[in-house]
Chain A
Amino acid sequence: MPTENQYEELISEVIEKQSIILGPDIAILKARNVSELVIDDQGKVTEIKGDKKAALQKIINVYVELSGMIVKNALGSIFEKYPGVEKINL
């Protein structure tokens, strides 16, 4: 059963992975473009305001817009850890 924090944790992992892939500065800067997310300076999501699914879709779009479809492969393994979360269409 998807817990309240699943989305926060998932998105935090996404940001973390993107930090490794793209670099922490740009990863966090871009994540902050998603208004629903409240992100601390370490890149962890502390709160999601509003529709969590929408927020997840938005952050993925942000990264795809930046570095393209390779994001898909990179994030596939993360999604597998959260079976309850609906897979995002890229």
Chain B
Amino acid sequence: MDFFAALFIILFSVLIIGGFFYWKIYKLKKDVDKNEEKMRRGMYELAILKELGDRTGYSLNIQNIIDVITGSLRQFIDYSVTSYIFVEPEKIIFKAHLEKSVSREFIDSIKKRMVSSLSAILNKDFSKTHVEEILSGAILTEYMNEPVRSFFNIPLVIAGKVVGILTIADTKTGLYREEEMTILYKITKQASNAVSSLQEVVETEQRKLNAMVASINEGVVMTDKDYKIVVVNPAAKTAVGLSSNEEVSIFDFIEKLGGKFDIKEKLEESVKLDKFLTVDDVLIDDRFFQIFVSPVKSSFGISKDEIMGAVVVFHDITLKKQVEKMREDFTSMMVHELRSPLDNIKKISELLIKKKKAKADLEYLNFVFQDSSRMLELVNDLLDVAKLEAGKFEVNKQPSDIVELIKERANFFKTNAKFSKVALETYFDPNIPKTVDLDPIRMVQVLNNLLSNAIKFTPEKGTVSIQALIHKKGQDIIKESSAAGIKWFLNKEAKNINDKSNCLIVAITDTGIGLSQDKIVQLFSKFKQYRVAIEAGEKKGTGLGLVVVKGIVDAHGGSVGVVSEEGAGSSFYFMLPFNQ
């Protein structure tokens, strides 16, 4: 009996000790489990925050963020439906994702609770506001007619404003533990904070940009990729006729610029082609603008060189244009005022000379005639050169008889030539068509200039020849000129000329002293010509004549040149292209 008693005591002790150890192990295990779970939750927290960071980057889109949070939920928590509502000015957007099928009443019940929550937070009644519903995931069913038994709402706050609510709901009771729910609140809060600070940074930068741009005189409008205005300064608003302190949108600009400048089209063009565009002389109300449009690119980070939007600059050139016009008007007026009296003096002296005065008087009258002629020439040339430089030189091509023109000029200069004791001859290629497209009045100017120069620079007993030839591309001008009986210095340049396209060549060849190569280079330049003229001694030219000749010929699409042989003479020529 003692043996059994001892056995029993031993067994009992073993049981107790075993039980004790078992209990201890059990407790340890529980602790371990608890820590494990804590760690698991911590890791979940980290993981989801990282995923949020990766997925949303610098996005200000809270919907994105909510989607990321709810998307990851099912690995962590059990639920029937997760939903969120967003507050918009006119309505509430309700989006729900069904992880399991629920009934229509379930959804409506959630909606109601979320709206009540919103109303409670904001102390405003939202129960009458229109709710736009978007469902996804499992379908609604009438079979599972379970009500909402567990749920919690997470308010979404950005920059101190409640923008919506995120809700997790299920049909089972008491499903959610405090720790789980708390984590979600924490995560959502952190995400919202991130968005809030980002938004603040963006707003600060925008304010800075606006401040910088506000004081610029040019009108500046910057838009994002959707052509919504990001920055606009007062100067831009006044440029188009908007009040400088009202809020404006891109549509206000489109409306005000309608018919004068298609701002939307230019913005699109600039962004699409990645090009800087300039539009000149846009008249808005009564001011002139030069408008620049350029794409705006990101300058750093992963989106470097990505186009973020565009900028439009309004540059007021009204004043500049006015000054330009004044200058033009002044110049024309001055020229006109100079020209008339000079012309009169010239004509008067001509008349007096004709009246056969005494020899001494005649000589002095000639002086008057010569000087006034020269001044008149200079004034005319000045006006033409000014126009050339302003880009306002026009030629009016008309079908003209060039042969007749040349003959008439030769006749005109007959007396002049005789006076200088120089022979004047003309040579015409029989192939010259009856009419050639050119500006007759300007051509007369060219011929006058070249002829008077030629006669001036040819010594007595010399010859000045006016020659006209049709050159066909590829043909040898040496042969062509020979066939027309034309003797000139151009044959020296045959190599360069032969391959030129079909053109009319008119040359004035003299038997003067010729020009050296470096003098030739200076000839058609405004300032250098004067020096050349001085070196020719008494026979001073105005210097500007050849510049005008070049301007006229260039305006016809042709080219002007000179070939010379020192001691023999020169051929001043111009080539006018034609397609006949």
Contacts and interface: CB of A to CB of B under 8 A. Distances in A.
A22 interface: yes
B186 to A, nearest CB: 9
A66 B190 CA distance: 11
B376 interface: no
Nearest to A69: B160
Given A25-B150, A66-B182, A73 B160 contact: no
B34 to A, nearest CB: 18
A76 B122 CA distance: 11
B152 A23 contact: yes
Contacts of A74: 120-121, 123
A20 B117 CA distance: 5
Contact of A26 (B113, B121, B176): B176
B153 A73 contact: no
Nearest to B189: A68
Interface in B114-162: 116-117, 120-123, 150-155, 157, 160, 162
B121 A70 contact: yes
Contacts of B121: 21, 70, 73-74
Given A17-B120, A20-B117, A25-B150, A70 B155 contact: yes
Interface in B246-286: none
A62 B237 CA distance: 51
Nearest to B182: A66
Nearest to B169: A23
B157 A68 contact: yes
A77 interface: yes
A73 B122 contact: yes
Most chain A CB atoms below 10 A, which of B117, B122, B182: B117
Given A25-B151, A25-B174, A70-B157, A20 B120 contact: yes
A20 B116 contact: yes
A29 interface: yes
A67 B160 contact: no
B434 to A, nearest CB: 94
A26 B152 contact: yes
Given A70-B162, A74-B121, A77-B123, A21 B153 contact: yes
A21 B118 CA distance: 7
B178 interface: yes
Nearest to A27: B152
B185 A67 contact: yes
Contacts of A73: 121-123
Contacts of B181: 25-26, 29
Interface string A1-31: 0000000000000000100111101100110
B179 to A, nearest CB: 10
A67 B174 contact: no
Contact of A21 (B117, B150, B189): B117
A67 B117 contact: no
Nearest to A71: B121
A81 B121 CA distance: 17
Of listed A30, A67, A76, A77, residue having the most chain B CB within 10 A = A67
Q: Mostly helix, strand, loop or mixed at chain B's interface? A: mixed
A67 B151 CA distance: 16
Interface SS majority for chain A: helix
Interface in A18-72: 20-23, 25-26, 29-30, 66-70
A26 B178 contact: yes
Contacts of A30: 178
A90 to B, nearest CB: 13
B92 to A, nearest CB: 16
A70 B152 CA distance: 16
Nearest to A76: B123
Contacts of A76: 123
A14 B575 CA distance: 99
B151 A23 contact: yes
Contacts of A67: 154-155, 185, 189
A28 B121 CA distance: 17
A29 B160 CA distance: 26
Nearest to B192: A68
A56 B160 CA distance: 24
A71 B157 CA distance: 11
B155 A21 contact: yes
A76 B154 CA distance: 20
Contacts of B162: 70
Nearest to B152: A23
Contacts of B151: 23, 25
B456 to A, nearest CB: 96
Contacts of B176: 25-26
B45 to A, nearest CB: 15
A69 B192 CA distance: 13
A71 B162 CA distance: 11
A29 B117 CA distance: 18
B155 A68 contact: yes
Given A66-B182, A70-B162, A74-B123, A22 B152 contact: yes
Most-contacted residue by chain A among B113, B167, B185, B189 (CB, 10 A) = B185
Q: 9 closest A-B pairs (Cβ-Cβ)?
A: A23-B152, A26-B152, A29-B178, A20-B120, A21-B117, A21-B120, A26-B181, A23-B151, A66-B185
18 contacts: A21-B117, A21-B153, A22-B152, A22-B155, A23-B113, A23-B153, A23-B167, A25-B174, A25-B181, A66-B185, A68-B155, A69-B160, A70-B121, A70-B155, A70-B162, A73-B121, A73-B122, A74-B123
